[in-house]
Amino acid sequence: MAQKKTDLEKSKLLKANNRMRLANIANRQSGEQAEAALDKRERRRLDQERGLLPFAVKLPQTLIVRLNERAAAQNKPLQELVAELLEKGLSSSGGTA
């Protein structure tokens, strides 16, 4: 069954919009952003190679705000700052790791 002219134009428009959307996604994920968009398995594998383990804790909101502010001020990722602070705290208290 032949399409009406309006249906044909609508179909062409949908195809063009889809192509543009896919092109935008590809452009966004190029370069550094593609590296940041690793899937969970790949990120887990890379973390294991670096010797990192997940460690979830519940902290007061005020402490989280202070940590985020300090990380932003030092231009460091929060994960790196927390690891550094824990290392300093454990070494200064004489605790053994």
pTM for this one? 0.51
* pLDDT tens series, the chain, 97 aa: 677 888 888 888 888 888 877 777 666 655 555 556 667 888 888 888 988 888 889 999 999 999 999 999 999 999 899 999 999 999 987 755 5
Given a contact cutoff of 8 angstroms between Cβ atoms, the answer to whether 68 and 77 are in contact is no
Given a contact cutoff of 8 angstroms between Cβ atoms, the answer to whether 81 and 70 are in contact is yes
Statement to judge: residues 58 and 83 lie in one domain: yes
Residue 11 to residue 64: CA distance in whole angstroms: 50
In terms of residue numbers, what domain contains 94?
53-97
Residue 12 lies in a domain: yes
Residue 59 to residue 15: CA distance in whole angstroms: 49
Residue 93 lies in a domain: yes
pLDDT at 37: 61
